[in-house]
Homo-oligomer: A and B are copies of this chain.
Amino acid sequence: MAKKITMIGAGSIVFCKTLLSDILATPALEDSEFALMDLTESKVRSMEAFAKRMLKDNRLPGKVYATLDRREAIRDADFVVIMIQVGGVEAFELDYKIPLKYGVDQCIADSLGPGGVFRGLRTIPVLVDIAREMEAVAKPGAIMLQYSNPMAGNCLALGKASKVSFVGLCHGVQTTLDLIAGYCGVPKEEITYTCGGINHMDWFLRLEHRGRDLYPKLREVFEKPEYYKNEKVRGEVFRHFGYFMTESTGHLSEYVPWFRKNKAALDLYCDEPSFGGESGAYYNWCRTVADKYAEHDPLLDESTKIERRSVEYCSYIMEAVATGKPFRLMGNVRNDGYITNLPAGSCVEVPTFADGAGLHPTFVGDLPPQCAAACMTNINVQILAGEAALNSDPEHIVHAVAMDPLASAVCTLKQIRDMCSEMLEAERMWLPRFQGKRISPKPTISIPKGCRPVDVPLDPALAIGKRFGELVTRKTD
């Protein structure tokens, strides 16, 4: 009973190759059939050729084919892996550069903020279409493994629009665990932990090494410059909120209002280079890589040797479903009561088990209230962006960005509206469902000199107070 595994966005060659290698390194999956799908034929053909070499060189029984037809790729699939980037580096440039003109200085710009909102607007309709196709032609119970950002926003919208079984996947938890293990000097495998929150803001609620709480040690080292320096923003949130979480400094600095709203804050907390907080760090990296790949296909030189499985959850989930042996991950799922102080229907990242019967997110309960509050400011944006995308409602684009912690700390409502309008016009080619719709302008209402306002009733409390005051005044004057 070989599995059919569909890779949507297989032209993301680096990431696709990683997952492919992981899956082929898994005995229970080595006879899988891979359908590689992308809109860019050259890339998907290159990927197909490489995958075929991998199978042949490693004498594996699996099969692979490429296609531009997404529905056909999905037909009879057991798993559909999503790694699309709608609009590519071109759209990304707009996501970063237009907000910068309005003072919204993003470091990564793919998850929240104006950049994250517009990435979501481009991506969500495609994900919903894929989910519909899965409902129509994939195997019953087929699972979507969703890797595209904005993770939480995408998955929130997916969870509203479709009943398909899906999980949003990220390696933030695994890499943070590496960091914790290193900082505390204990083997990662011996750490018992529970996370709860949202993607990119998932809090370590329990963190133990063989029954001993690791938090005292972690707090201790984070006061030391040589540790703190690596993660200033994450360190500050840890110091002030009391819990450590999964997002690294550059990215986290965008999700909260305290670190990059002005130069003083940037200088104090976001002064490390690149992903340490630099303006446009991720865009610059992507542009550089894209330019290099445009000149030369990296797969031509890549070894077909199957390596040790990476930390990505993808192959482990598939293995658990195929073998029935349970695997535990932190998955992004629709909040069906798992985190009790975050909204039902939002997307939360919680301990999730995979096994023969599919995906099983588990109950976390209440987050510490300060952690829930911080998540909530992000979920506000995700809900509104989801509404904007699912209903093609341009007003909700403005509302989403108006709720963004960084943009709202920098701009007025009018500036936010103007910025969104400019972005919508610039990115129209990737937003076909907004055709014929625009964000209506709300120009400043200019008040002529000497304008007499219309009468309004006096507030009764003030009125009474005023009368009393006058009484007193009459008497005391």
Residues of A within 8 A of B (CB): 1, 14-15, 18, 171, 174-175, 178-179, 182-183, 192-194, 206, 210-211, 223, 225-230, 235-237, 239-242, 248, 256-259, 261, 264-265, 268-269, 275, 285, 288-289, 292-293, 295-296, 298, 300-302, 310-312, 324, 326-328, 336-338, 341, 343, 351, 353, 355-357, 360-363, 369-370, 372-374, 376-377, 380-381, 383-384, 387, 395-396, 398-399, 402-403, 405, 408-409, 411-414, 416-417, 442, 444-448, 451-457, 459-462, 464-465, 468-469, 471-476
Residues of chain B lying within 8 A (CB to CB) of residue A383 = 369, 372-373
B351 to A357, Cβ gap below 8 A? yes
Known A-B contacts A341-B343, A362-B362, A454-B226; A399 and B373 likewise in contact (beta carbons under 8 Å): yes
Please tell me how many copies of the chain the complex holds: 4
- Neighbouring B residues of A380 by C-beta, 8 Å: 373, 376-377
CA distance A259 to B448 in the complex (A): 21
Specify which chain B residues have a CB less than 8 angstroms from the CB of A312 in the assembled complex: 460
CB neighbours (8 Å) of A338 from chain B are 363
Task: Give which listed residue, B178, B229, B405, contacts A447 with CB less than 8 A.
Answer: B229
Whether A353 and B326, one on each chain, are in contact in the complex, defined by CB atoms closer than 8 angstroms, is: yes
Q: Is the CB of A225 within 8 A of B409?
A: no
Q: Which 7 A-B pairs have the closest CB atoms?
A: A337-B337, A360-B362, A370-B399, A409-B409, A326-B326, A373-B380, A178-B457
Q: Is the CB of A454 within 8 A of B182?
A: yes
Q: Which residues of B contact A328 (CB under 8 A)?
A: 326, 353, 355
* Cα(A416)–Cα(B226), bound, Å: 25
Measured between alpha carbons, how far is A454 from B457 in the docked complex, in Å?
A: 61
Contacts of A474 in B (CB 8 A): 301
Contact status of A399 and B241, CB under 8 A, knowing A295-B472, A328-B326: yes
| B399 and A369 within 8 A (CB) | yes
Smallest Cβ-Cβ distance to A189: which chain B residue: B324
The answer for the CA separation of A412 and B471 in the assembled complex, in Å, is 46
| Contact, CB under 8 Å: B357 / A370 | no
Select one of B240, B289, B465 contacting A469, CB under 8 A: B289
Cα of A192 to Cα of B354 in the assembled complex, Å? 13
Which residue among A240, A264, A295, A372 has the maximum number of chain B CB atoms within 10 Å of its CB?
Answer: A240
In the complex, chain B residues whose CB is within 8 Å of the CB of A206: 357
Contact partners of A268 in chain B: CB under 8 A: 412, 444
Q: Which residues of B contact A337 (CB under 8 A)?
A: 336-337, 363
Residues of B near A210 (CB, < 8 A) are 1
Report the Cα distance A353→B324, complex, angstroms: 13
